[in-house]
Amino acid sequence: MLTRRHLLLGTGVLALGGAAAVPGLRDHAALLVHPVPVPPHPVPTGPVGPLLSGSFASKAMGRVVGWSLAYPVGSAPGAALPVLLELHGRGADHAESFSTHHLDRFLSAAVRAGLPPFAIASVDGGEHSYWHRRPAGDPQTMLLDEFLPLLRSRGLRVDRLALGGWSMGGYGALLLAERLGRSRVAAVAVDSPALWTQWKDSAPGAFDGPQDFAAHDVLASVRALAGIPVRVSCGTSDPFIGGVRAFLDRVPTAGHDLGPGGHTVQWWLHAAPGQMAFVGHALAG
Protein backbone atom coordinates (compact mmCIF):
# COMPACT_ATOMS: atom_id res chain seq x y z
CA MET A 1 0.00 0.00 0.00
CA LEU A 2 1.29 3.43 -0.89
CA THR A 3 1.65 5.72 2.10
CA ARG A 4 1.94 9.48 2.09
CA ARG A 5 5.65 9.06 2.86
CA HIS A 6 6.09 6.84 -0.20
CA LEU A 7 4.25 9.33 -2.35
CA LEU A 8 6.37 12.21 -1.13
CA LEU A 9 9.57 10.25 -1.65
CA GLY A 10 8.44 9.24 -5.12
CA THR A 11 7.64 12.83 -5.96
CA GLY A 12 11.10 13.86 -4.81
CA VAL A 13 12.77 11.19 -6.92
CA LEU A 14 10.72 12.16 -9.97
CA ALA A 15 11.63 15.78 -9.37
CA LEU A 16 15.28 14.85 -9.31
CA GLY A 17 15.00 12.91 -12.56
CA GLY A 18 12.95 15.55 -14.31
CA ALA A 19 15.36 18.28 -13.29
CA ALA A 20 18.48 16.38 -14.28
CA ALA A 21 19.14 18.61 -17.28
CA VAL A 22 18.75 21.82 -15.27
CA PRO A 23 21.41 22.03 -12.54
CA GLY A 24 19.65 24.73 -10.52
CA LEU A 25 16.37 22.81 -10.33
CA ARG A 26 18.23 19.57 -9.69
CA ASP A 27 20.04 21.16 -6.75
CA HIS A 28 16.81 22.34 -5.16
CA ALA A 29 15.12 18.98 -5.74
CA ALA A 30 18.03 17.20 -4.08
CA LEU A 31 17.65 19.41 -1.04
CA LEU A 32 14.00 18.39 -0.68
CA VAL A 33 15.06 14.77 -0.29
CA HIS A 34 18.23 15.43 1.70
CA PRO A 35 17.94 18.61 3.79
CA VAL A 36 21.19 20.41 4.54
CA PRO A 37 22.18 20.60 8.21
CA VAL A 38 23.09 23.85 9.90
CA PRO A 39 26.76 24.50 9.12
CA PRO A 40 29.02 23.93 12.12
CA HIS A 41 31.29 26.85 11.21
CA PRO A 42 29.65 30.26 11.57
CA VAL A 43 31.16 33.24 9.80
CA PRO A 44 34.01 34.51 12.03
CA THR A 45 33.82 37.90 13.65
CA GLY A 46 36.73 40.06 14.67
CA PRO A 47 39.31 42.15 12.84
CA VAL A 48 39.96 41.52 9.15
CA GLY A 49 42.62 42.74 6.78
CA PRO A 50 42.22 45.12 3.85
CA LEU A 51 39.88 44.15 1.02
CA LEU A 52 40.69 45.87 -2.27
CA SER A 53 38.86 45.82 -5.59
CA GLY A 54 39.32 47.18 -9.06
CA SER A 55 39.02 46.35 -12.74
CA PHE A 56 41.10 46.15 -15.91
CA ALA A 57 40.51 45.88 -19.63
CA SER A 58 41.17 42.26 -20.52
CA LYS A 59 42.32 41.55 -24.04
CA ALA A 60 41.82 37.81 -23.47
CA MET A 61 38.20 38.27 -22.38
CA GLY A 62 37.41 41.15 -24.74
CA ARG A 63 35.90 43.27 -21.98
CA VAL A 64 36.53 44.92 -18.64
CA VAL A 65 36.76 42.45 -15.74
CA GLY A 66 36.54 43.14 -12.03
CA TRP A 67 38.77 41.77 -9.30
CA SER A 68 39.04 41.63 -5.52
CA LEU A 69 42.04 41.07 -3.27
CA ALA A 70 41.88 40.22 0.44
CA TYR A 71 44.81 40.55 2.83
CA PRO A 72 44.75 38.86 6.24
CA VAL A 73 44.61 40.81 9.47
CA GLY A 74 48.06 42.20 10.27
CA SER A 75 49.09 42.54 6.62
CA ALA A 76 48.92 45.67 4.52
CA PRO A 77 48.70 46.20 0.75
CA GLY A 78 52.16 45.74 -0.71
CA ALA A 79 53.05 42.85 1.60
CA ALA A 80 54.98 40.10 -0.21
CA LEU A 81 52.51 37.31 0.50
CA PRO A 82 51.80 34.10 -1.39
CA VAL A 83 48.41 33.92 -3.06
CA LEU A 84 45.33 31.72 -3.19
CA LEU A 85 43.64 32.33 -6.54
CA GLU A 86 39.93 31.67 -5.90
CA LEU A 87 37.75 30.98 -8.95
CA HIS A 88 34.03 31.71 -8.68
CA GLY A 89 31.10 29.51 -9.59
CA ARG A 90 28.60 29.78 -12.43
CA GLY A 91 26.59 32.98 -12.44
CA ALA A 92 28.83 34.59 -9.81
CA ASP A 93 31.64 37.15 -9.98
CA HIS A 94 34.81 38.18 -8.17
CA ALA A 95 32.97 39.80 -5.27
CA GLU A 96 31.12 36.67 -4.16
CA SER A 97 34.25 35.09 -2.68
CA PHE A 98 34.01 37.71 0.04
CA SER A 99 30.41 38.97 0.08
CA THR A 100 28.74 35.55 0.36
CA HIS A 101 31.55 33.10 1.13
CA HIS A 102 33.30 35.49 3.55
CA LEU A 103 36.71 34.06 2.72
CA ASP A 104 38.39 37.23 3.97
CA ARG A 105 36.89 36.62 7.40
CA PHE A 106 37.84 32.95 7.44
CA LEU A 107 41.35 33.90 6.32
CA SER A 108 41.85 36.50 9.04
CA ALA A 109 40.43 34.20 11.72
CA ALA A 110 42.87 31.47 10.68
CA VAL A 111 45.83 33.87 10.69
CA ARG A 112 44.84 35.18 14.14
CA ALA A 113 44.93 31.53 15.26
CA GLY A 114 48.48 31.11 13.96
CA LEU A 115 48.16 30.10 10.30
CA PRO A 116 50.94 31.51 8.08
CA PRO A 117 49.50 34.51 6.21
CA PHE A 118 48.56 34.60 2.54
CA ALA A 119 46.33 36.72 0.31
CA ILE A 120 43.20 35.66 -1.58
CA ALA A 121 42.59 37.02 -5.08
CA SER A 122 39.45 36.65 -7.18
CA VAL A 123 38.59 37.88 -10.68
CA ASP A 124 35.64 37.72 -13.06
CA GLY A 125 35.86 34.65 -15.28
CA GLY A 126 32.54 34.83 -17.11
CA GLU A 127 29.05 33.72 -16.17
CA HIS A 128 29.42 30.19 -17.55
CA SER A 129 32.88 30.05 -19.11
CA TYR A 130 33.91 27.02 -17.05
CA TRP A 131 37.32 28.67 -16.93
CA HIS A 132 38.54 27.51 -20.32
CA ARG A 133 38.73 29.10 -23.75
CA ARG A 134 35.32 29.76 -25.27
CA PRO A 135 34.05 31.92 -28.17
CA ALA A 136 33.33 34.70 -25.67
CA GLY A 137 36.84 34.77 -24.21
CA ASP A 138 39.78 32.89 -22.72
CA PRO A 139 39.72 32.96 -18.89
CA GLN A 140 42.93 30.95 -18.43
CA THR A 141 44.93 33.35 -20.59
CA MET A 142 43.37 36.25 -18.68
CA LEU A 143 44.45 34.69 -15.37
CA LEU A 144 48.00 33.84 -16.41
CA ASP A 145 48.91 36.74 -18.71
CA GLU A 146 46.90 39.60 -17.20
CA PHE A 147 45.70 39.02 -13.65
CA LEU A 148 48.83 37.38 -12.19
CA PRO A 149 51.06 40.20 -13.50
CA LEU A 150 48.66 42.68 -11.87
CA LEU A 151 49.04 40.85 -8.56
CA ARG A 152 52.83 40.70 -8.97
CA SER A 153 52.92 44.46 -9.55
CA ARG A 154 51.35 44.83 -6.10
CA GLY A 155 54.19 42.93 -4.48
CA LEU A 156 52.48 39.54 -4.17
CA ARG A 157 54.33 36.29 -4.81
CA VAL A 158 52.66 34.54 -7.71
CA ASP A 159 55.39 32.34 -9.15
CA ARG A 160 53.90 29.44 -7.18
CA LEU A 161 50.27 29.71 -6.13
CA ALA A 162 47.43 27.90 -4.49
CA LEU A 163 44.25 27.42 -6.51
CA GLY A 164 40.72 27.19 -5.17
CA GLY A 165 37.12 27.63 -6.20
CA TRP A 166 33.61 26.32 -5.89
CA SER A 167 31.34 24.58 -8.40
CA MET A 168 32.37 25.88 -11.86
CA GLY A 169 35.37 27.48 -10.19
CA GLY A 170 36.34 24.25 -8.48
CA TYR A 171 36.41 22.57 -11.87
CA GLY A 172 38.40 25.51 -13.24
CA ALA A 173 40.96 25.34 -10.43
CA LEU A 174 41.61 21.64 -11.07
CA LEU A 175 41.80 22.27 -14.83
CA LEU A 176 44.32 25.08 -14.38
CA ALA A 177 46.38 23.00 -11.93
CA GLU A 178 46.61 20.24 -14.53
CA ARG A 179 47.89 22.76 -17.05
CA LEU A 180 50.47 24.38 -14.73
CA GLY A 181 51.74 21.35 -12.80
CA ARG A 182 53.61 21.09 -9.53
CA SER A 183 56.26 23.66 -10.44
CA ARG A 184 53.65 26.44 -10.43
CA VAL A 185 50.96 25.10 -8.09
CA ALA A 186 51.57 24.65 -4.36
CA ALA A 187 48.09 23.27 -3.58
CA VAL A 188 44.52 22.98 -4.84
CA ALA A 189 41.53 23.20 -2.49
CA VAL A 190 38.11 23.06 -4.15
CA ASP A 191 34.50 22.90 -2.99
CA SER A 192 31.79 20.99 -4.86
CA PRO A 193 33.72 21.01 -8.17
CA ALA A 194 31.54 20.71 -11.28
CA LEU A 195 32.84 17.34 -12.50
CA TRP A 196 31.06 15.03 -14.90
CA THR A 197 32.19 11.59 -16.00
CA GLN A 198 30.71 11.96 -19.49
CA TRP A 199 29.68 14.67 -21.90
CA LYS A 200 25.98 13.84 -21.97
CA ASP A 201 25.65 14.60 -18.25
CA SER A 202 27.29 18.02 -18.33
CA ALA A 203 25.35 21.21 -17.70
CA PRO A 204 23.94 23.10 -20.69
CA GLY A 205 26.44 25.72 -21.84
CA ALA A 206 29.39 24.31 -19.90
CA PHE A 207 31.11 23.08 -23.06
CA ASP A 208 30.82 23.81 -26.76
CA GLY A 209 30.31 20.15 -27.60
CA PRO A 210 31.74 16.66 -27.02
CA GLN A 211 35.15 17.63 -28.39
CA ASP A 212 35.38 20.64 -26.07
CA PHE A 213 34.42 18.41 -23.14
CA ALA A 214 37.07 15.83 -24.08
CA ALA A 215 39.75 18.49 -24.48
CA HIS A 216 39.03 19.85 -20.99
CA ASP A 217 38.15 16.67 -19.11
CA VAL A 218 39.65 16.99 -15.63
CA LEU A 219 39.07 13.32 -14.83
CA ALA A 220 40.94 12.17 -17.93
CA SER A 221 44.01 14.26 -17.08
CA VAL A 222 44.47 13.69 -13.34
CA ARG A 223 48.02 12.39 -13.84
CA ALA A 224 49.03 16.00 -14.40
CA LEU A 225 48.20 16.66 -10.73
CA ALA A 226 51.00 14.34 -9.55
CA GLY A 227 52.95 15.94 -6.73
CA ILE A 228 50.36 18.67 -6.06
CA PRO A 229 48.55 18.52 -2.69
CA VAL A 230 44.80 18.41 -3.42
CA ARG A 231 41.80 18.67 -1.09
CA VAL A 232 38.16 18.37 -2.17
CA SER A 233 35.02 19.12 -0.17
CA CYS A 234 31.52 18.11 -1.28
CA GLY A 235 28.17 17.46 0.33
CA THR A 236 26.83 13.96 -0.15
CA SER A 237 23.53 15.39 -1.49
CA ASP A 238 25.36 17.60 -3.99
CA PRO A 239 24.57 16.73 -7.63
CA PHE A 240 28.33 16.65 -8.30
CA ILE A 241 29.07 14.01 -5.67
CA GLY A 242 29.31 11.29 -8.35
CA GLY A 243 31.98 13.20 -10.24
CA VAL A 244 33.79 13.99 -7.00
CA ARG A 245 33.86 10.33 -5.99
CA ALA A 246 35.16 9.42 -9.46
CA PHE A 247 37.90 12.04 -9.03
CA LEU A 248 38.87 10.73 -5.60
CA ASP A 249 39.03 7.20 -7.00
CA ARG A 250 41.56 8.44 -9.54
CA VAL A 251 43.49 10.62 -7.05
CA PRO A 252 43.60 8.49 -3.88
CA THR A 253 46.17 10.81 -2.28
CA ALA A 254 43.73 13.74 -2.28
CA GLY A 255 42.38 14.90 1.04
CA HIS A 256 38.62 15.23 1.25
CA ASP A 257 35.73 16.46 3.35
CA LEU A 258 32.51 14.68 2.42
CA GLY A 259 29.42 14.86 4.60
CA PRO A 260 25.71 15.71 4.79
CA GLY A 261 25.11 18.78 2.66
CA GLY A 262 24.15 20.09 -0.74
CA HIS A 263 25.34 22.49 -3.41
CA THR A 264 24.82 25.48 -1.17
CA VAL A 265 26.57 28.35 0.55
CA GLN A 266 25.90 26.56 3.86
CA TRP A 267 28.16 23.71 2.79
CA TRP A 268 30.86 26.06 1.52
CA LEU A 269 30.84 27.95 4.82
CA HIS A 270 31.24 24.60 6.57
CA ALA A 271 34.23 23.74 4.38
CA ALA A 272 36.03 27.11 4.57
CA PRO A 273 38.13 26.62 7.75
CA GLY A 274 39.53 23.30 6.55
CA GLN A 275 40.32 24.71 3.14
CA MET A 276 42.06 27.78 4.60
CA ALA A 277 44.24 25.61 6.86
CA PHE A 278 45.14 23.28 3.98
CA VAL A 279 46.14 26.16 1.71
CA GLY A 280 48.03 28.09 4.38
CA HIS A 281 50.23 25.17 5.37
CA ALA A 282 50.88 24.22 1.73
CA LEU A 283 51.92 27.75 0.77
CA ALA A 284 54.14 28.05 3.86
CA GLY A 285 55.76 24.69 3.10
The pLDDT tens digits for 66-82 are: 999 999 999 999 999 99
pLDDT in tens, 2-38: 232 232 333 333 333 333 333 344 444 444 344 455 4
pLDDT bucket at 41, cuts 50 / 70 / 90? confident
Give the integer Cα–Cα distance in Å for 2 and 19: 24
What is the second-level CATH architecture of the domain 34-284?
3-Layer(aba) Sandwich (3.40)
User: Which range (25-34, 46-55, 62-71, 109-118) has the least confidence?
Assistant: 25-34
Average pLDDT over residues 237-244: 96
pLDDT number for residue 285: 86
